[in-house]
Structure 1
Amino acid sequence: MDATLKKQLEITATKVRMGVIEGVYNAKSGHPGGSLSVADVLTYLYFAKMNVDPKNPQMPERDRLVLSKGHTAPALYSVLANRGFFPVEDLKTLRHIGSKLQGHPVMNKVPGVDMSTGSLGQGISAACGMALSGKLSSDFYKVYAILGDGEIEEGQVWEAAMFAAHYQLDNLVAVVDNNGLQIDGRISDVMSPYPIDEKFKAFGWHVISIDAHDFDAIEKAFAEAEKISGQPTVIIQRSIKGKGVSFMEDQVSWHGTAPNEEQYNQAMTELKAHLAELEK
């Protein structure tokens, strides 16, 4: 990856993480852990990969993204705001009465949101429908779906996986955010989905495994996915829940807990210091 682009993506991803913390702090509720772990891949998609236009969010030829793990909406909102779909200041209204930015994405209220999601397991099915529609209408848009590793314990995910392979949806790329934690603890203890790679291979998917926080690896993975014909691709990204905030990293307690004022200040101090280092 070009060094200038990589640095800009790292800067943007840090701002996205700051937006996540800002949102959940002001809401006094939300899901910071998983939002922070998907910040890098969402930043890459919206700032380096996807064909989208903040001035025309509904353009027919746009690429689509489905946040199947809809509770990590703070990350998607922060990316969309930083990309220019709506003001960054709106992130402070997360989950407030009357705000368009509720706990899960709503497609008919939030510019840039392509599918309303929240009930885990359903988003990937919607993404399959979008991808099949593109195939049938000979459109060239791509469909991206972000899933959680706890989410793939849902049976519907594997029905969708079978569907995508059967219809050879090579315009579909799923990302499994493998941070190893879900609300009840470690996924390996709750209901282990491992080996994730072998399961998707058995369902007929092309599988790529990467470090979720390495922009070079992210770029390489999506470039590889572009070359795959006749089957869907899944990128299994090994991530750190709470990435970027020291006391949140790899802690299941931050799955769905908002920081108090002291924790908010510490998180923002860490992120601002990292941003200042990157911007030197």
Structure 2
Amino acid sequence: MGLYVIHTLTHKTSPYSFVLHQVSWFRRRDWHILTTGTFAYTNDQRFSVLHPDGSLDWTLQIKYITRRDNGTYECQLSTGTGVLSHFVNLHVAVPRASILVRGDYHVQAGSTITLVCVVEQSPEPPQYIFWYHNDKMINYDTERGGVKVTMTTGHPAGDTRSQLTISNAQQEDTGNYTCSASNTRPASTSVFVTYGDSLPAIQRRDETSSSTTHSSSSSLSVISPVLSHSLLIPFLLLSYLLSFHNNLYLIHSHMFLSHHRTHQTSPVTRRVR
């Protein structure tokens, strides 16, 4: 990621003190002694101390810094009366690159392709930002012509921006575009150059799929009551058939009882006569 130095300054306890101060650097995360005096006490060769002869400066230097180096570092000064400490909180910012495009980039043939790459969270501007079309770097493409790259810094958000402009877009300009900065991972997007009515057709297709989704949800809301009615009809028919069967049973029972009564009363009438 780069080089980082943590600086501290020691002072003599008094103008008449000639006591040799012993300065050590600790990493608080694991209480690891990094340096004591001018000697390093770690196998990680990225750590070293800078102390010019006769100077009161003791600077901890970390090379190729990474996010893992986040944390608190302690400088301890051993004196004849005790230990003095100074703490430094180190926050490693990891830059991030992105292209200001939502989804794929569609453009009509003959138009201008404009892509903007933004590098954020970078303590200092990247040394370079290269643009690639597929696998070819195009920052200095003189063969194609009409390619322009501009890089700007000092934006209010503290970011760095690189704008790629390609005039008179042609079918050959379709493909993957990547911006690659010196201190970030690359960011990519896809560009499609279309002719004639192809672009409106793509938009209409997107609108059609959106309206189809809406129609499907509406159809579901209409079908639901139809299904409920279709289930209700057999139930009503079954109820009607059961009612009809019961009525037939009642009629049959009534006729049977009437006939039975007639058969029983007839002999009694003959006896009276």
Q: Shorter-chain TM-score: which interval?
A: under 0.3
Structure with more strand by fraction = 2
Tell me: higher relative CO, structure 1 or 2? Use CA pairs within 8 A at least 6 residues apart: 1
Structure with more helix by fraction = 1
TM, length-normalised to structure 2: 0.19
Which has the larger Rg?
2
